[in-house]
């Protein structure tokens, strides 16, 4: 009830109506991704799990929803000079593909340490790759320069209402198909995905629980929730290359007010979850995409009385872009 009134009284960067608009806008372009289940994984976790496989989304990640919504929201005059973004990979590929569909150029700033398969995706979709150093600062500086030179529109990876609205369409699909889901576990990084998922899900069902899953080596969101303000870390270290960003001023209010908890897991648990998804569910999932399963299997979640009655749990499998060699190496360690 309290949450419902929060939703009604506060203004966030997206809401159920912007998310429904996004759904109509992107429907012709996105895959409606399947939801997989496994009796075996249910037995192991002690809950009924519904894996929403955004790893099967175009570009191999949920990012295409937001990118598509942002790019197809642009007026023709705005779109004419193309779009610019910086991203370690999945957002980059998503922007490239959405720009290609709209018929405009995409200039993509990528840090030098991005996984090869993600850079390959950008090139495959016709994105113009511009390298930066690995720091957030370098990425942002290079992007600003590209915007200046090209006159393109910057499409931020997460701190943007259109992006948040696009990602929120995941909840609409999931809860339409499985209205009895009582909890959704969502990977958290910059917060675009979890903001959209939360705003849509809590509008549909005010009692639904939203739990963020975050790697130990980049646990800025857990720290932010504890401190009551955005915390940025001097460095991050995790196998989940998609989960290294920090919250923005548009995503933080949603995380602060509406996300029920942040579950922190270590890289070992993430790898074990990737292995289970490979061996049992037969899907290719990158570390960031496996973290929701790792969270549900964690001692923190399993032993927390607050989550004891989370019985029907949607898990957002955010992406599947991982080089096979990297996957194999991670399993061997």
Cβ contact 130:123 at 8 Å: no
Least separation in angstroms between CB 21 and a second copy: 24
Burial of residue 254, with CB atoms counted within 10 A of its CB: 0-12 exposed, 13-18 middle, 19 or more buried: buried
Q: Is 88 a catalytic residue?
A: yes
List the one residue from 46, 151, 179, 325 that touches a second copy (CB under 8 A): 325
Q: Distance between CA 17 and CA 95 in Å, rounded?
A: 23
Q: Distance between CA 59 and CA 32 in Å, rounded?
A: 13
Binders in 246-285 for a second copy, by CB under 8 A: 275, 278-279, 281-285
Tokens in use for 311?
A: 């019985």
Q: Distance between alpha carbon 221 and the CA centroid of its chain, in Å?
A: 14
Indicate whether 27 belongs to the interface with a second copy (CB under 8 A): no
How big is the CA angle at 54 (ends 48 and 57), to the nearest 5 degrees?
150
Pick 176 or 279: Cβ nearer a second copy: 279
List the one residue from 55, 85, 236, 298 that touches a second copy (CB under 8 A): 55
Cβ contact 265:295 at 8 Å: yes
Q: Distance between CA 161 and CA 15 in Å, rounded?
A: 9
Least separation in angstroms between CB 57 and a second copy: 9
The set of residues, in sequence order, having a beta carbon less than 8 Å from that of 157 and lying 6+ positions away, is: 63, 85, 86, 87, 91, 163, 190, 192, 245
User: How is the beta sheet containing 261-265 ordered, strand by strand?
Assistant: 35-36, 48-53, 312-317, 183-187, 209-215, 261-265
List the one residue from 5, 40, 137, 302 that touches a second copy (CB under 8 A): 40
Indicate whether 117 belongs to the interface with a second copy (CB under 8 A): yes
Q: x/- contact string, 285-324, with a second copy (CB under 8 A)?
A: x----------------------------------x---x
Q: Which range binds a second copy by CB under 8 A, 7-15, 53-61, 131-139, 216-224? A: 53-61
Least separation in angstroms between CB 8 and a second copy: 37
Q: Is 63 a catalytic residue?
A: yes
Query: Which entry of 52, 58, 63, 118 is annotated as an active-site residue?
Result: 63
User: How many residues interact with a second copy (rule CB under 8 A)?
Assistant: 26
The set of residues, in sequence order, having a beta carbon less than 8 Å from that of 261 and lying 6+ positions away, is: 211, 212, 225, 306, 307
Indicate whether 93 belongs to the interface with a second copy (CB under 8 A): no
Indicate whether 8 belongs to the interface with a second copy (CB under 8 A): no
List the one residue from 14, 19, 41, 60 that touches a second copy (CB under 8 A): 60
Q: Which residues of 174-184 are buried (b: 16+ CB within 10 A; e: fewer)?
A: bbeeeeebbbb
Query: Which entry of 18, 55, 73, 88 is annotated as an active-site residue?
Result: 88
Q: x/- contact string, 217-236, with a second copy (CB under 8 A)?
A: --------------------
* Alpha-carbon separation of residue 231 from 5, 185, 317 (angstroms): 27, 22, 26
Give residues in contact with a second copy (CB under 8 A).
Answer: 31, 34, 36-37, 39-40, 55-56, 58, 60, 117, 124, 275, 278-279, 281-285, 320, 324-325, 327-328, 331
* Enzyme catalytic residues: 63, 88
């Amino acid at each position: 009830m309290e949450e419902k009134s929060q939703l009604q009284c506060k203004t966030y960067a997206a809401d159920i109506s912007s998310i429904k608009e996004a759904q109509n806008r992107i429907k012709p372009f996105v895959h409606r991704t399947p939801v997989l289940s496994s009796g075996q994984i249910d037995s192991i976790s002690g809950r009924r799990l519904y894996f929403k496989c955004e790893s099967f989304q175009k570009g191999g990640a949920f990012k295409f929803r937001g990118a598509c919504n942002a790019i197809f929201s642009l007026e023709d005059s705005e779109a004419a000079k193309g779009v610019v973004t910086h991203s370690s990979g999945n957002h980059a590929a998503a922007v490239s593909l959405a720009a290609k569909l709209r018929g405009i150029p995409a200039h993509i700033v990528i840090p030098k340490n991005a996984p090869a398969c993600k850079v390959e995706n950008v090139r495959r979709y016709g994105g113009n790759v511009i390298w930066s150093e690995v720091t957030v600062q370098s990425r942002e500086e290079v992007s600003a320069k590209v915007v200046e030179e090209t006159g393109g529109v910057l499409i931020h990876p997460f701190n943007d209402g259109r992006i948040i609205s696009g990602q929120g369409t995941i909840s609409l699909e999931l809860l339409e198909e499985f209205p009895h889901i009582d909890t959704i576990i969502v990977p958290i990084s910059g917060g675009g995905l979890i903001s959209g998922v939360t705003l849509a899900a809590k509008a549909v069902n005010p009692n639904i629980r939203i739990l963020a899953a975050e790697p130990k080596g980049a646990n800025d969101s857990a720290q932010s929730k504890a401190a009551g303000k955005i915390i940025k870390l001097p460095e991050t270290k995790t196998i989940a290359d998609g989960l290294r960003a920090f919250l923005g001023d548009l995503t933080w209010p949603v995380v602060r007010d509406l996300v029920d908890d942040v579950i922190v897991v270590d890289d070992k648990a993430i790898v074990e979850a990737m292995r289970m998804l490979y061996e049992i569910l037969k899907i290719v999932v990158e570390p960031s995409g496996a973290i929701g399963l790792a969270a549900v299997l964690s001692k923190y979640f399993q032993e927390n009385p607050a989550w004891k009655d989370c019985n029907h749990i949607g898990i957002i499998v955010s992406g599947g872009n991982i080089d096979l060699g990297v996957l194999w190496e991670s399993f061997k360690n």
